[in-house]
A and B are shown apart, each in its own frame.
Chain A
Amino acid sequence: MLEIEIDGKKLTVNQGITIMDAAHTAGTHIPHFCYHKKLSIAANCRMCLVEVEKAPKPLPACATPVTDGMKVHTASPLAKKAQAGVMEFLLINHPLDCPICDQGGECQLQDLAVGYGNSSSRYQEEKRAVVGKDMGPLVSAEEMSRCIHCTRCVRFTEEIGGYQEIGMANRSEFSEILPFLGKTVNSEISGNVIDLCPVGALTSKPFRYATRAWELSRRKSVSPHDGLGSNLIVQVKQNQVMRVLPLENEDINECWIADRDRFSYEGLNSAERLQKPMIKFDGKWHETDWQTALDYVVKGLNGVANDHGKDAIGFLASPHSTTEELYLAQKLARSFGVNNIDAALRRSDKRVAAAQQGALWLGSSIVELLAAKSVLMVGSTQRQEQPLLASRLRQSVKKGMALNVIHTSDDELLTRINAKLIVSPLALVNALAQVLKAAVEIKSASTTLDLSAANVGAEARAIADSLCAAESAAIVLGNVAQHHPAFAELLSLAQEIGRVTGARFGIAAEAANSVGADIAGVNPQRGPLGKTVSAGIGVSEMLAAPRKAYVLLNSEIEADAYNSQQAVAAMKQAATVIALTAFKGEALLDYADVLLPIAPFSETAGSFVNMEGKLQPFNGVVRPLGETRPAWKVLRVLGNMLNLSGFDFNSAEDVRAELLAHGDIAAALNNQLTSVAANVVADGTLVRIGEVPMYQADAICRRAESLQKTAAAAAPVIALNPQDIAKLGLEAGQPAIVSQGEAEVRLQLVADAAVAAGAVRVAAAHPATQALGGLFEPIQIKRG
């Protein structure tokens, strides 16, 4: 510990910290631009110059380590003169076009210029002008004359984004911030540079000129997309969401959010928003009032129940729904006598629900995962599933975590990978079994699983070594594993490896409320907080053996199901499809019979339970659009209209309280299966890798226009390993035809060495591929 003094205040601080850090603990503000607590120190802006006694010249607080007895003056005449000098330099070439600048009102340069600058300039020479740059559909770099060269954006892309996509070219006052020549900025977390840019050089393209910052109200919320549960500030004006920013939460999203969290709000204001209840009769859609629509629903449900029995009804709820909506949906279904309810819509392995003993979750807190010394990610297309978690894992690797990968494609993770096994989906179980086998050997342990078909390769051995040697290790199953037909086996193996090595294991929950759905009891075998219920069937069976009636909550099943071909067929044959939805999508209009307009997360109170089992409540940030109602209210009314008891809630909080009265969330989280099983024999059939593209993950982001213009949202292609292309006599760069079942889809064929041999990578959930079948099922391919 060191004794120092800042502006006369005595402090005891840790060795190794900077004057800036020390000032922060003392609550003293030192002006700065380039300094950012999450980025490396650049010390280039020089705004933070302070006086240090005995130092011959002012020193940059952000880069100067404290020393014992140091006496710092942050606002002495010398410090102030130095700061004013820097401010003058920053302004001489600045266009001072604040009145037409989007950053106006939230510009650090503007703010500090008021405090540290002069009202007139001594600079009478010509000002520099810098031409605008194209960074893509999300980040605007039109007015680069405003740039103050703090290089925060450069450091962000390199250090947090994982790949330097922005650089500073040229020298001296001709220095320019730009993306690589001819390239845009494609990072899945690129929007953070907008927040980082202290001036109006990098601004939000979708938000540009929409409004002034001071006209916006700030409301807290939680991201409805992936399972990380990033905390948000949603900014609204006149009952409309105008912009989304990160709300700092060190344990979850730090001060960042992914582009999906930031720019999806455009979907909330989409023209496809359903604003009135609608009923289809005579083959046509008719807008109607709530009463008529709800009567119709009640009649429909009763009718099917009477004619075909309650088992002919299925409830399919999106895991992007709130906990309260999910809780009420299962309460309504079960009180009505329907046990068929599920929210794990893309899960194809029904064995998991039968064997699980609690809500599947990460197996630790996010912070604990990030602190693990060794992590094995299984079946996770990390950067598109949980973009920010992928970034945080990269930071952990820098601090010494060994990151191991078992996956179906060798994607660029922008970090050092300790060991990896890239195999066809049909060999995933075998790959994980190899690791178990190696771990059993290393630990001289035993297992009941038959591992004779697993031949331990060098990479599997390295993974096992890494897990065994680490003082803390974790195995995490991603979306590919969770959607995989052998999810139960993969989970079994993870459980066994965990048992043998001491590693924790769990899943990186796919959706904002995947864990919440399990907790709320939207599971065919388990009620709220694990309460025993009469078992029903899950989504895979409900679609394989079609029901007469479906109730969809927040789901566009043609994009949300494991097998969209099968799902759409099931919807089409049903007597009635009742959709509680915020959007009137094309497919829904085709197969549904009633559309009830419900509020998206921004227009209702509710909560999400993130992958680590943390329940995060939020309030609506704007009023429901048109005649939209929060789904919990709709379900409450429906419950009453169906004469079910216990549907008298006054608020979403009431609903939550009833759920939580069943028990404790933490105690309900459990990844242990009652019994483990695994068929380790790998199969050589040509099989599909069907992942959900980043911006097709849920109904809101599907409608976010700017996200849909990004490279990540490009039309799906068929990607194959070049060797397979040659073997199959195909030609890359030409269209090819893939087929599953009856359906054929013609797409561009791309050679991609990252794709595992024996696999055909064709994205799912996209309109272009919805005709296809299961995500990890056999697939045929021919020249097209």
Chain B
Amino acid sequence: MINFKKAAAIGLLSMATFMSLNSIKPVSAETEVEGINDPTIAPYFESMKGKKIGYVPFSMSYDLSKGWLAGMQIQAKELGYEIIVRDPNWNTDVGVQAMDQLINAKPDIIVLQNPDLQSYAKLLKRGTEAGIKFISVNIKSAYPSYYIGEEWQLNGMAEAQYIVDKCGKDSGRSGKVAIVQGILTSAASAYQIRGVTEVFSKHPEIQVVSNQSANWDAGKAQEITRTVLQQHPDLCGVIGFWDGMDIGAGSAVKEANMQDKVFVVSSGGGYKEAACDRLEDGTYSAYFSYDVRGQAQDINTVIRILLQTNPAPDAFKFTLPTRGVMLTKDNIKPGSCWTMDDFK
């Protein structure tokens, strides 16, 4: 008798547990056929649909800005929001005008590349007060915004460390290094040189024999590097601050047939023709890549977060530094660099 009662109790209990596992109410015949509607999906899509995202890079004519946009457009198409592109074509004044007009049009978010720390700061303040969210890519602003991109100082440190490893103590080399900077007033160049000097200050065996600006110009970089090579045939390393310019420095070394003795390190967004192809043909011995694919992914993620949460302007700010990778001829794989096809 007791045994029967016990069995009945256990049976009831397990039934209750089963029912509670199935969201308490008994499973209706309808749900069994059609499944359950996830209540979070519709609001997610709802929060994206018909929104407007502005995009103001330095210029639409170079690998980084094209890659970012291509990545952003994939998600925009998927989620049904619009991207408005303004192309300042390297001109800060045009950029200020474009930003000004965009802010008046009141998009939900503006993804931008600051020309420097200051130029857009006032505009960012005005836009933020009007409720627009700003995502800065690769160059920060004096006025806080959400930041995604390269940490230039760390980039400089990584390049300098590479050169120290190759040319420093116990390397049996001269330790002579040339630095080819970009435009001296640009934040990217200024932060990078800081990173470089920080590392070199701990390595007195490294001797900087030339520290010049080539103005982001490949021809100028080539001229400087040629002259430095001529003056210091035992040069061990060249540090460059951007692939578009450093190709001149690398060409000068290659032309002198010294690519086995002089280590040229460059950095950039990892576009195949600018990076992997140049590592393979010996223009660079190393390339610090802040992969544009990853940055585009980060931009997309932040867009989704901001559109869903719509935070108050002063709620929080954050930076998402890009994880850089030092590429060399020996560690590149087919997927190490990107082409526009990656975004199709």
Are the chains A and B members of one assembly? no
